[in-house]
């Protein structure tokens, strides 16, 4: 070997270099995997935080995670009716008319199952669209549910034209099958009667005493 030739490393050093190279490649793979796992963990944490917020009724300072109509007092029910009727008229009708048409019956508010379906639809819409931390996927999931909800609403209301003939008119009328919305006077009277059957809130009882 010429004095000018670089020294040849011993076999042990070559073997170590090979091991180091393999370890470096493995570290690189682990780092990439850790980054991917970290992204997944971040997504899961976001979902968990969102679920916790919904359960605590703190999402975007809006409505609680669920409405239990059977336990509402007068104040809670009045607020829920106002939110639901307003949302159905301003948002559902304007932005999702096909779904709104499935509820376009003069008596929709008289059917507890329909009110429950619309309540869930409203609360999940609120979570999907008004929560500033909601991922776009939540709105996509909400829209994906609409066809199924429409089908249930149609089935729940399909017999209304026979059971509420006084509101629909003559079955021989050509406009008989045309979707019709509720009468404002009648729904206000219904809500007033509904509230009268509910207990007063603790604050209202304190004021009366």
Q: With CA atoms as reference, report the closest residue to 163 among 208, 108, 121.
A: 108
DSSP, res 88: I
Q: In the Cβ-directed half-sphere of 8, how many Cα atoms lie within 13 Å?
A: 4
Q: With CA atoms as reference, report the closest residue to 80 among 66, 92, 91.
A: 66
Do 83 and 75 contact (CB within 8 A), yes or no? no
The pLDDT tens digits for 72-109 are 999 999 999 999 999 999 999 999 999 999 998 888 99
Residue 57 has pLDDT above 50, yes or no: no
Q: For the whole prediction, is pTM greater than 0.85?
A: no
């Amino acid at each position: 070997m010429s004095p000018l030739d670089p020294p040849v490393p011993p076999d042990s050093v070559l073997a170590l270099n090979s091991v180091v190279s393999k370890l470096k490649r493995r570290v690189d793979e682990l780092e990439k995997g850790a980054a991917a796992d970290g992204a997944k963990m971040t997504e899961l944490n976001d979902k968990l935080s969102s679920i916790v917020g919904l359960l605590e009724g703190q999402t975007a300072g809006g409505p609680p995670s669920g409405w239990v109509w059977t336990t509402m007092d007068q104040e809670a029910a009045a607020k829920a009716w106002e939110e639901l009727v307003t949302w159905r008229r301003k948002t559902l009708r304007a932005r999702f008319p096909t779904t709104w048409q499935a509820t376009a019956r003069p008596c929709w508010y008289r059917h507890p199952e329909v009110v429950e379906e619309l309540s869930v639809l409203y609360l999940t819409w609120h979570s999907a669209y008004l929560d500033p931390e909601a991922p776009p996927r939540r709105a996509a999931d909400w829209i994906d549910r609409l066809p199924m909800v429409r089908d249930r609403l149609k089935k729940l209301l399909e017999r209304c034209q026979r059971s509420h003939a006084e509101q629909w008119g003559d079955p021989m009328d050509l406009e008989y099958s045309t979707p019709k919305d509720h009468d404002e006077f009648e729904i206000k009277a219904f809500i007033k009667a509904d509230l009268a059957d509910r207990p007063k809130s603790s604050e209202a009882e304190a004021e009366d005493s």
